[in-house]
Amino acid sequence: MSLTPARHAELKCYAIQLRRLVVESVHHAGAGHLGGPMSAAELLVALYFAELNIDPTQPRDQDRDRFILSKGHSSIGLYAALALRGFLPIEELATFDAIDSRLQGHPDMSVLPGLDMSTGSLGQGLSPGLGMALAARLKGQGFRTWVMIGDGDSQEGQIWEAAFVAARYGLDNLTAILDWNGLQQYGWATEKGYGALDRLAAQENPLSRWRAFGWNAIETDGHDFPAIFSAFASAKAHRGQPTIIVARTVKGKGISYMENDFNWHSKPVTDQDLKQAQDELVAQEAAL
């Protein structure tokens, strides 16, 4: 995909807007996940504004591409992408996490058109993606299924059961994206104290692990649009195996005090936190 400077700037702008909507929604709700949606921002924008064959007016179209957020706790990032793309009013994000809202802390496909799977219990997103990809093959449908997993998410055994089966069926219409931000919910207890930064990563050597499971594995920079699109193109061109895109990302990316700090996995946002985040995002947008 050729990316003109104007289009590149537009996508970067969407990622900044997505981050702003995430931090504002979590501030308003008084609860929610931040680090994971921030690390996934460019990947979500690349999918929802360029890659996925979707139409906000036809959210149940049988031929649409499917997307599953296996790391469902990052729901507010997905809701912000869906809102920016026109699946729901931006103002509805103010209902995030409220009782009876369509925007629950974890995605509920039974209430929100545009969601292809309900998720939240870690490790469960790749299995339905595998089912959708198999169904597409069986029915002769050309849609592609994309599943975003996290490194903590993929500590669950069910991810690897699905990985094994997808490779066995050679599902080249299935692409997983690992948001490889290197952090889970907590640090480890070590001799340096709880949460010390010398702990083991949640997922080590993901490329070789996925290759050992029979997948085509590609590494990319998950915050760089040209690199992301190049990985998407390689995934789509590959035949005979499912592909995993191992996207190197930074947890909390874009907000200085959240970056690489697992304490910002999930935390209320104070008025002061919000102000600083908004100021930083405004400065990033002005610099585009």
Ligand X SMILES: Cc1ncc(C[n+]2csc(CCOP(=O)(O)OP(=O)(O)O)c2C)c(N)n1
Site of interaction with ligand X (CB under 6 A): 35-36, 39, 71, 73-74, 120-122, 150-153, 179, 181, 183-185, 202, 251, 265
Smallest separation (angstroms) from ligand X to the CB of 71: 4
Smallest separation (angstroms) from ligand X to the CB of 129: 16
Q: Distance (Å, rounded) from C-alpha 176 to C-alpha 246?
A: 8
Token pair of 95, please?
């209902």
Nearer to ligand X, 136 or 162 (CB): 162
Q: Distance (Å, rounded) from C-alpha 49 to C-alpha 40?
A: 14
Burial class (CB in 10 A: 0-12, 13-18, 19+), 175: buried
Contacts of 99 (CB under 8 A, 6+ apart): none
Secondary structure (3-state) at 25: helix
* Other C-beta atoms lying within 10 Å of the C-beta of residue 113: 13
- Report DSSP state, residue 216: E
Smallest separation (angstroms) from ligand X to the CB of 105: 10
Smallest separation (angstroms) from ligand X to the CB of 202: 5
Catalogue the long-range contacts made by 258-261 (C-beta closer than 8 Å, 24 or more residues apart): 258/34, 258/35, 258/38, 260/182, 260/183, 261/35
Smallest separation (angstroms) from ligand X to the CB of 240: 28
Nearer to ligand X, 39 or 127 (CB): 39
Q: Which helix (H) or strand (E) holds 248?
A: strand 243-248
Nearer to ligand X, 136 or 244 (CB): 244
Rounded to 5°, the CA angle 229-235-239 comes to: 150
Q: Which helix (H) or strand (E) holds 78?
A: helix 75-85
Nearer to ligand X, 141 or 158 (CB): 158
Smallest separation (angstroms) from ligand X to the CB of 251: 5
Nearer to ligand X, 164 or 186 (CB): 186
Smallest separation (angstroms) from ligand X to the CB of 203: 8
Q: What share of the chain is helix, strand, coil (3-state, %, to 5)?
A: 45, 15, 40
Nearer to ligand X, 108 or 172 (CB): 108
Nearer to ligand X, 151 or 280 (CB): 151
